[in-house]
Structure 1
């Protein structure tokens, strides 16, 4: 069940830059270490509904329902584009600014949670990730999936926290250059836009 192979698989999945990594790193750059860790916590909580869906078998329904899948997908696209607009125009959570006030940690965490809640691919991901590591005993399958999901979330938080701490450490160097801040804001907006485009082209 829980093995080194599973932990390494989780680590490989989490290290690859995606929506959560971009959001966490950008938040740490824009708001500092505490905000970055709040973003990491929020992004870690986001997969919970998808994990529950996989355990309960609802992910299969989501996968076969084109309407339900499309609604969730386009809600995610709209949210990513909104974050991209905020980073580009200023005032958004991801906008990098010399202001050192961290802002509301709860709002930052909630936004991170929404990023993953609105990603329908996560339900399918858990259905693909967990079964190969189950013991094969139907009587313990639910408990095993819960345990594997807990390990995945722990690895997710630790990985994202590392990204947050690294980005926060680079914050001072970034804030000393207005040109660097401008280019980073454009890069963050572009990254969110590309992720939105990728999600928009995903099919059931």
Structure 2
């Protein structure tokens, strides 16, 4: 039963991190679009689709496209840094999430630049050189792995004093179900 709880917790928390990362990333695009006077025509955040924010007119496309990955990488770090150190369990979860966001956003731009997927194509179209995406990935991906490394070794989850128990597993499953259930497609009218 303990193994089931650990596996359930890990899988569900990865799902929460994936949807949370997409939400924070798209929030960056939204904030930039609103701040630059653009109009958001659609936001897609879904467990079965890659997230996106459509803006038209987009008065500052370079700002809007770059703020997604920048905000997506930096905001979770800021939130994590504000959690008191004696809140071990929430701080650890947010540290994992912040590392996840750094790795995901860095890989998205750094590796995605080769195929020019999603934001990468728009970043190039707005005049940013490809090396800026590589630099972003080279900085953020190792930082994310460093944050994960500071959490300890994955086998530590299996130790008797691990905070991962059946309650934590079911709470992560509930969190994933709630977040996935509220994932949305928005078309402002």
TM-score tier (shorter) = 0.3 to 0.5
TM norm structure 1 = 0.32
**TM-score normalized by the length of structure 2:** 0.34
Higher strand residue share: 2
Give the structure with the higher percent helix. 1
Structure with higher RCO (Cα < 8 A, 6+ apart): 1
